[in-house]
Structure 1
Amino acid sequence: MRIGLLETGEPPGDLLETFGGYGAMFEALLGPAYVYRAYDVQRGELPERPAENDAYVVTGSAAGVYDPLPWIEPLKAFLRQAKGEAPLVGVCFGHQIMAEAFGGKVVKSDKGWGVGLHAYEVSGAAPWMDEVTAVAVPASHQDQVIEPPPGARVLAGSAFTPYGILSYDDAKAISMQFHPEFDPAYAKALIEARRGTRFTDEQADAAIASLDAANDRARMAEWINRFLARAVRP
């Protein structure tokens, strides 16, 4: 299976050299069973057509979907073109840009930053999920989906993030607000890099401490892999 990695951002500063890019993080998360191709979306690189790959993953980004950046609208257009044609998986910014492209609404939340290990109650079911009542996954976001697109189904959420996982059942697409690709070591380093600018010391300390608890990154990898296997099946 060929997976196109739509890279919409990269780790800040020297974290890129230490931990690798977001595409590489997804390769590590999903495993070696796929042929990966990365696209530098911020530099205007997008597939010529959805059939260029069997499925796509849209990564996280420091950008907001509402930012007046030259690559945002072309990405939305490609996602609308790919919807129903190739399976899509969106994470954090990817979750938000898919929602915006498909008719939902995303804003900078007045709740502030969600960072550290976050728990989400599972409220829906899909064939690629196992039976579990909640999942805990690293998060790092200030923007949120506040109006899901028509046809989107909520599979998990929390009081802080009501639309934590969305499924587009008629379009072979899923998205999630959290970051299963973030190893706790990277998540901690990212918080440290933003200490004193985006987070207070108290917020940073609490978020870093939370990341020592058990997480469901491996379960999320299984969910995504099973989703892709079902969605790409002839």
Structure 2
Amino acid sequence: MRIGILQTGHAPDAIRPETGDYSDMFARLFAGEDFDFTTYDVVDGVFPDGPDLQDGWLITGSRHGAYEDHDWIPPLEALIRDIAASGRPMVGICFGHQIIAQALGGKVEKFRGGWSVGRQAYDFGDATLHLNAWHQDQVVELPPNGVAIAESDFCKNAAMVVGKNILTVQPHPEFDREVIAGLIEHRSDAVPNELVEEARAGLSEPTDNADMAARLAAFLKKGAK
């Protein structure tokens, strides 16, 4: 199955030699799922010609805010709406979750409650999954036809589905211990120290990345044309 990765940011330069970029993290996450990935660096202005080039789509995380004024955000929102209308499956992670919600009529804002970083517990109804987070922005209003399917104590709309072909999650199943350790070292200046130390303490605890990856892969395959 051909999956187009819409890369909306880059991993920190300091950790990229070890972790790879965000697209590489997803390739590792979905190893064995028989996905053939093509990456489009939309953050650098590189876009596909349309939704039909790939069987399914994935939008990565980013250090940028969905509400910020960047030249690449309006065309990304237009592409999201085109993919949604095409019926092809699309998943979004963190910023991907947020920009999809915004593009389809929801609202994203810098959350007044602050940051969520490191290993967190998410209630998906049928299971509680422990996944890594790294965000302050949140989806505070779902788009029309959007349904929340997971929450945490910090994040009410931690995952959503829109129609039959869109699934998004706020946490990062592609972030392993090494990535979180790198973010603590290189991208935590704005995060309160007590949250950084909690994230550091949680580095030795297991996550349910494989479980979340299986759920996302099954969703993509179910919607494949």
Shift of 1:203: 2.1
Alignment of 1:182-197 (within 5 A): 182-195=175-188, 197=189
Partner of 2:206: 214
> What CA deviation, in whole Å up to 9, does each residue of 1:208-234 have, x standing for no partner?
1123212110001110111111111x4
- Conserved 8 A contact 2:2-2:55: yes
Shift of 1:68: 0.5
Shift of 1:140: 0.2
Distance of 1:103 and 1:44 partners within structure 2:
23
Amino acid paired to 2:30: L
Amino acid paired to 2:180: A
Where do 5+ consecutive residues of structure 1 fail to align? Answer: 124-131
Alignment of 1:68-79 (within 5 A): 68-79=69-80
Alignment of 1:42-121 (within 5 A): 42-85=43-86, 86-121=88-123
Partner of 2:18: 18
Aligned identity (percent) is 38
1:153 to 127, 133, 147: 147
Partner of 1:176: 169
Where do 5+ consecutive residues of structure 2 fail to align? Answer: none
Alignment of 1:25-44 (within 5 A): 25-32=25-32, 33-44=34-45
Partner of 2:159: 165
- Conserved 8 A contact 1:138-1:211: no
Distance of 2:168 and 2:14 partners within structure 1:
28
- Conserved 8 A contact 1:152-1:166: yes
> What CA deviation, in whole Å up to 9, does each residue of 1:2-49 have, x standing for no partner?
000100001113112221000010010011411110001012111101
> Which moves more between the two structures, 80-89 or 200-209?
200-209
Quote the RMSD (CA, aligned, Å): 1.2
- Conserved 8 A contact 2:110-2:136: yes
Partner of 1:141: 135
- What stretches of structure 1 move > 3 A for 4+ residues in a row? none
